[in-house]
Amino acid sequence: MNTPVPGAPSADEGSPSNDVGDDIGDSFRIGVLIVAAAIALPFVLGAMVFLFGVRRRRAAAQDREKIDRGDARGELLALGEEIGALDLDVEMPNASARGRDAYEQALKLYDRANQLLAKDDPSEIELYEARRSLEEGRRRIAAARDALASGAG
C-alpha cells in the first residue's frame, strides 16, 4: 500500500500535468478577454464619439442662445434710446394724438420685452416673444415719429 508520508508532496501537487491544465485554462480565459475587448472596443468608441458630438452641439446651441440674448438686449437698448428721443416731442401740447398713441404702444412693447429679457436665462419662447415685441416697438416708434413730424392729429 501507498500511504502518504507526512511532509512529502502528494502525487497531485506540483505534477507537470496539473500545471499544463492550469496554463491552458488561463490562456483560454485571456483569449476570451481579448476577443471580448476587441468586440466591445468599437461600441465603446462609437458611444464616446456620439456623446462628444452631443456635448459639442449643446455647447454650440448655448453659445448661439447667449449671442441671441446679447443681440436682443442690444436691440432693447436701441429701442429705449429711440423712445427717449421722442419723449419731448410727445409731451408737446400740439403733438399728434396718433403719434402719442403709437408712442404709448411702443412704450408698452418696450416694457414687455424688458420683462422677458430681465431673467438671467430666458427660454427660447421668451426670447422669441421679446424679439417680436422689439420689432413691433420699432415699427410703432417709426409710426409715432412720422405722425409727430407731420403734425397730423
Q: Residue 58 sits in a domain of what CATH number?
A: 1.20.140
On whether the CB atoms of residues 69 and 123 are closer than 8 A, the answer is no
Residue 73 lies in a domain: yes
Residue 11 lies in a domain: no
Task: Report the domain count for the chain.
Answer: 1
Max Cα-Cα span within the chain: 134
Does residue 152 have a pLDDT over 60? no
Put simply, whether the predicted model's pTM sits higher than 0.85 gets the answer no
Report the pLDDT value the prediction gives residue 149, as an integer from 0 to 100.
Answer: 83
Q: How confident is the model at residue 46 (pLDDT cuts 50, 70, 90)?
A: very high
Tell me if residue 8 falls in helix, strand or coil. Answer: coil
Quote the percentage of the chain above a pLDDT of 70: 83
Report the pLDDT value the prediction gives residue 124, as an integer from 0 to 100.
Answer: 82
Distance between CA atoms of residues 1 and 36, nearest Å: 50
Structural domain for 65, as ranges: 24-150
N-terminal to C-terminal alpha carbon distance within the chain: 132
Distance between CA atoms of residues 20 and 133, nearest Å: 83
| Grid cell of 79 as nine digits | 429701442
Residue 29 lies in a domain: yes
Residue 63 lies in a domain: yes
Residue 9 lies in a domain: no
